[in-house]
Amino acid sequence: MGFKSALTGAFLFGGLALGASTFSPARPPAIPLAVKAPYLNTWLPAGSNGGNGGYLAGEWPVFWTRHITAWTGMIRVDGTTYQWMGAVPNSQNVDQTEFSYTSTRSNFVMNVGDKVEMNITFLSPVTPEDLKRQSLTFSYLDVDVHSLDGDSHDVQLYADVSGEWASGDLNAVIEWDYGTSDGVAYHTFYRQTQTEITESSELPNWGTFYWSTGDADGLTYQSGSDVIVRAAFKNDGVLPNAKDTSFRAVNSNWPVFGFAKDLGSVGGDSVNTLFTIGLTQDNAIQLLGEGSGLTTYPALWKSYFDSDLAAVTFFYNDYSTAAGLATDLDDKVAEDSIAAAGQDYLTITSLSVRQTFGALQFTGTDSDPVIFLKEISSNSDIQTVDVIFPAIPLILYTNPDLLKYLLKPLFLNQENGHYPNTNAIHDLGTFPLAKGYPDGTDEPQPLEECGNMIIMVLAYVQRTDDVDYLNEHYKILQQWAGYLIDESLIPADQISTDDFAGSLANQTNLAIKGIIGLRAMADISDMAGHTDDAANYLNISTSYIDQWQGFGINSQADPPHTTLSYGDADSHGLLYNLYANSLLGYGSDFVPQYVYDMQSDFYPTQALKYCVPLDTRHTYSKTDWQMWAAAIASEETRNDFISHIATWINETPTSNAFTDLYDCVSGDYPGITFKARPVAGGHFALLALP
């Protein structure tokens, strides 16, 4: 059972009714505003536990940590000033009438005093096959104003951002400036003391933010205290073209950077004002890879632009092209999602695109790109293998080459002798410093990561025919396969990717991952010309999958099902690792069809209000693993999974960016707060299947 594609709700803020707004296809727990990269990741809290219901006016936008990234919008119509974004005290808010989202856009429609209507679009472009554009850590805000009542009205528009965007440490001193270039007016602001490759409260201690708009007639600007700058517009509808020269801490009289635009007499024809917000950093990541020391990786945009301003002005002036490319992706995701599993599925997939790509840092050069992933919110690890793994459906769906760029740092670190263990590494450290674990003390998920790496490599090569890639890495792949031969059939007591659930021996789901990894190694060996190895891996994996069925299935249960761990007849869990068997195209040729059918029949018997629990130990579940299980289930079971998740999106009380972990009964966090994690890419499981 699904839910309505447009939902209506009203919310009270400060004792004043903001009015009723529709929400289509749902009201997310948090609405993505500027979500493009790990350090440009701003959302509007919406859920009832800390949000205001999804209304742009009356709530401060926040970084994924809940650090306020103040973003204020006001509009003055016939001498009366209204607030359309932010939470400035004693403001009269516009009336939000509609909200909708796509894969790249969040759209708001506002009624301003029954006189004019505003169409406000937050666009964070996602261009997986255009790395020049994808490399830019910038986002668009497009504001359209037109008459609502048929009369013409005198209109001025205002928007500002605060210094809070520039630092996670509010005591840090920032500097700022104003300038124009190539038809673009910009405020620039940055930490006075820059320390590369370090963070304060998840935000960078280096780099420069640019807040820009068109350098056109009717534009005025001001930097200064939030109270002073906003009052100037509220009272006069214009700013004094003045720069505050007293550089100070972010929290010292809260410096903001404002633009005001006199739109003149606005009638039925739309008047558009475009803003952009973004961050430039020359260097992005340090990696222990080639050689004995750290290698500094430049931000990828540096390969395409010779200066910050060249990048800033290109992005601003590229809006028409960027918007067209965004529409192409929006349409593709919409058409494919609806064709695969209906509107509820699109509700999930379209909320997942910006979140997934928003965890990726594009570095290197145009001839040798390297992508680093931040494990946002769970522990900020860099290049976590079992976070890349659940995200790969979206990566494979949009551009399989991106997976190669994501795996490269992991190969560089381990193939250059910086990791002593024979199994695959878990991660490379804490973002943005990928210094690895020369002493081998990474989080111990040896079976998990060996299986993940081998499966991902084959999935990439199957879609690109890059056989040279297999030869390049064959030695270490063989090493990891050796680990799987020794350990996958009877897994020792260990944690899996679901480490929060605890350690367990003989995990049925973990074992099948390792066994599928061995089957994948047979294909890798064959494609790389190692036919004897291929025959050996095929024989072993075939033997293992036969034995696994005896160990891990409770055939006497009604209905029968796989167990959470061998021999524990009363236990069960999502057998999501079976998805890899289908992703690699094996189907029932390797894992018998009855296993698929058995699990598909079993899952609905365990469904609670908002999800099917991950396993018998808890009542929580994960959205990525549910979608992996759904993708290989019967149509009825698949739709049941999807309906539960789509309903949860609209009803959850959580107000942070889309969590992948929640309680199936309450819809709330289960004592663990995951948010904005790139594993949301796993929601594309249906669309990544061959």
Nearest to 143, CA basis, from 326, 313, 270, 235: 270
- 310, pLDDT greater than 80: yes
CB count, 10 Å around CB of 565?
A: 21
Which tens digit of pLDDT belongs to each residue from 357-381?
A: 999 999 999 999 999 999 999 999 9
Which tens digit of pLDDT belongs to each residue from 174-226?
A: 999 999 999 999 999 999 999 999 999 999 999 999 999 999 999 999 999 99
- 355, pLDDT greater than 50: yes
Nearest to 43, CA basis, from 22, 18, 21, 60: 60
- 293, pLDDT greater than 90: yes
In this prediction, residue 1 carries a pLDDT of: 29
- 26, pLDDT greater than 90: yes
- 4, pLDDT greater than 90: no
Q: Is residue 515 within 8 Å of 578, Cβ to Cβ?
A: no
Name the residue type at position 406.
L
Distance from C-alpha of 159 to C-alpha of 348, rounded to nearest angstrom: 31
Q: Is residue 105 within 8 Å of 34, Cβ to Cβ?
A: no
SS3 labels along 10-53: EEEECCEEEEEEEEECCCCCEEEEEEEECCEEEEEECCCCCCCC
Which CA distances in Å does 362 have to 310, 366, 378?
A: 18, 10, 21
In this prediction, residue 11 carries a pLDDT of: 38
Determine the distance from the C-alpha atom of residue 272 to the mean position of all C-alpha atoms in its chain, rounded to a whole number: 29
Give domain limits for the chain: 7-285
- 16, pLDDT greater than 60: no
Mean pLDDT of 230-247: 97
Confidence category of residue 12, pLDDT binned at 50, 70, 90:
very low
In this prediction, residue 246 carries a pLDDT of: 98
3-state secondary structure of 609: coil
Which tens digit of pLDDT belongs to each residue from 554-608?
A: 999 999 999 999 999 999 999 999 999 999 999 999 999 999 999 999 999 999 9
- 10, pLDDT greater than 80: no
- 487, pLDDT greater than 90: yes
Domain at 7-285: CATH architecture: Distorted Sandwich (2.70)
Average pLDDT of the chain to the nearest whole number: 96
Mean pLDDT of 252-262: 98
Mean pLDDT of 279-284: 98
In this prediction, residue 15 carries a pLDDT of: 31
Which tens digit of pLDDT belongs to each residue from 432-472?
A: 999 999 999 999 999 999 999 999 999 999 999 999 999 99
Angle formed at CA 143 by CA 140 and CA 146, multiple of 5 degrees: 160
**What is the Rg, in whole angstroms, of the alpha carbon atoms belonging to the chain?**
26
Nearest to 679, CA basis, from 349, 379, 356: 356
Mean pLDDT of 129-156: 98
Rounded to 5 degrees, φ, ψ at 636 are: -65, -45
Q: pLDDT exceeding 90 applies to what percent of the chain?
A: 97
- 280, pLDDT greater than 50: yes
Q: What is the pTM of this model?
A: 0.96
Distance from C-alpha of 24 to C-alpha of 6, rounded to nearest angstrom: 4
Distance from C-alpha of 82 to C-alpha of 111, rounded to nearest angstrom: 10
Confidence category of residue 19, pLDDT binned at 50, 70, 90:
low
Which tens digit of pLDDT belongs to each residue from 394-424?
A: 999 999 999 999 999 999 999 999 999 999 9
Confidence category of residue 14, pLDDT binned at 50, 70, 90:
very low
Element (H or E) spanning 388, and its range?
A: helix 385-398
